[in-house]
Amino acid sequence: MARKHLKHDSYEDLHRENEAPAAVVCCWLCDRPTGKTIVWHHPVPKSRGGRDVVPMHPICQQTLTAHFTNSELQRYGMDVEGLLANPTVRKFVDWVSNKAPDFNAATAKKQR
């Protein structure tokens, strides 16, 4: 049986062959590809019995928690379209849509 690699080949080539391309994970809220930092967000807060998690950008998660209470997030559940119907969230998603995946900025708190 023939060897797949020569005896004196570098190991770097061996590792490159076995590397699989990284799967692209999209943000649950804005549907952009995530960058190096992924936040696993509970759409229904854990304090309200939520168990499911979704991938999000940190800035998207900060925006949701800044504009909605846990009770409001519980009512929306996994309904991302309901969240996007909110004019503030829609404005944010439209603004962030052309930013880099690892973009981060301060988020303004909701005036209550």
pLDDT at 73: 92
SS3 33: strand
Please state the rounded mean pLDDT for residues 98-106. 84
pLDDT at 104: 81
pLDDT in tens, 52-91: 999 999 999 999 999 999 999 999 999 999 999 999 999 9
pLDDT in tens, 17-26: 556 666 788 9
Q: 87-96 and 58-67 are packed helices; what angle lies between their axes, rounded to 10 degrees?
A: 160
pLDDT at 9: 54
pLDDT at 107: 75
The burial class, CB within 10 Å (0-12 / 13-18 / 19+), for 27 is buried
The burial class, CB within 10 Å (0-12 / 13-18 / 19+), for 77 is middle
